Homo-oligomer: A and B are copies of this chain.
């Protein structure tokens, strides 16, 4: 059975809806309402006749219309009974936000297996338990107990993010929103008592809206199946995975988080590599790698050229490139000659081309256009000190026009409000911006490696 119900449902019951602000069952309902979900919303709670202006039902069974999806924010012990009611009602999918299942051990483990067997009996699909659920910016299905006041949602786009940790869900979704990178679908899948990574990956592999798939993963429940699906999907969509629980201490933490086994990291790592999965080491690298794949066209070769108005970060980038095996382009003599003739005398011609603190928009465009014509330049990295006053504001509107060359262009900038605003504009123009040279180089490395080695 398809997972469509989780992303496309037109009627949703929120079981455990509360009138009390701050309560999980209140905030989930509010997210659906505030987020602009267009389908029918049914609060369920025997204590109330109305919540947030919507008629409240004492059970899912008393809702007069069809209910496709139910979101559960009620104590674990009553969940099996409520899922039974969902089954009788003909609900197709449930998202169990509540914790208190396998991650708690003892009775929780038993409750989780009861939940699963009841769901199986009725053919109900389950996301969770112990998660924050679903977000689809296209249909506005939004099961978050994180309010709009406290958490930004990204706009529509081509990135799917799947996570075993709700916390990293919040972080990545807000980072995407801050940087203006769009999302196709989000799933926090928690203990994954039913729907697992392999099934989600397969579904998103076939999803037209999704171009990049990223995971934060602690355990790998579907094992071999996941690897097989990944080997297929990675041939046409990049799959980026952050695997936690690399060490013994981390594995113990995984166990107490979702009650699943982390698996032996060396084994997992080797299998992932063989399946063409891009493996990253921390949440920043995950995010940076998502960004470059979401915004840039594939590179045709592995040479990186840098242009800057401040040399320091290019020194660090040269170190990082050398350490990570990213190749810096060697320009042909004719390109060097053109650069020298076309740029002001203060410019230092090399890789980087250092335009110095006196650099203007014109200098950046001149240098970029020459380098983008060099076949040895496959990825262009523009390092910006936006704080330097000689550089015109308009640079962030002009640089994106260089995308007409069809080559990947990335940028570096970091600082305060002005720089953040300028970086945001660049990204809206399709140029991913990274805050440090190491992060830029790591993203470029993952990007080049995927297109030139895996594929």
* Beta-carbon nearest neighbor of A250 in chain B: B319
A274 to B167, CA, bound (A): 41
Contact A250 B316 (CB under 8 A): yes
For residue A357, CB closer than 8 A to chain B, the reply is yes
* Beta-carbon nearest neighbor of A151 in chain B: B387
For residue A152, CB closer than 8 A to chain B, the reply is yes
Known: A282-B438, A312-B257, A416-B174. A356 touches B252 (CB 8 A): no
* Beta-carbon nearest neighbor of A171 in chain B: B414
Which residue of B168, B323, B348 is within 8 Å of A104 (Cβ)? B348
Which residue of B246, B281, B346, B389 is within 8 Å of A22 (Cβ)? B389
A350 to B256, CA, bound (A): 9
* Beta-carbon nearest neighbor of A165 in chain B: B312
Known: A256-B350, A283-B316, A346-B99. A248 touches B357 (CB 8 A): no
Which residue of B166, B250, B284, B438 is within 8 Å of A318 (Cβ)? B250
For residue A170, CB closer than 8 A to chain B, the reply is yes
A319 to B217, CA, bound (A): 13
Contact B145 A322 (CB under 8 A): no
For residue A212, CB closer than 8 A to chain B, the reply is no
Contact B253 A352 (CB under 8 A): yes
Give me the interface of A with B, judged by CB distance under 8 Å: 21-24, 27, 99-100, 103-104, 132, 145-147, 149-152, 163-168, 170-171, 174-175, 177-178, 216, 218, 244-250, 252-254, 256-258, 281-284, 308, 310-316, 318-319, 321-323, 328, 346, 348, 350, 352, 354, 356-358, 383, 385-390, 392, 414-419, 435-438
Contact A318 B256 (CB under 8 A): no
Minimum CB–CB distance from A164 to chain B (whole Å) comes to: 7
* Beta-carbon nearest neighbor of A131 in chain B: B357
A249 contacts which chain B residues (CB < 8 A)?
A: 318-319, 321-322, 328
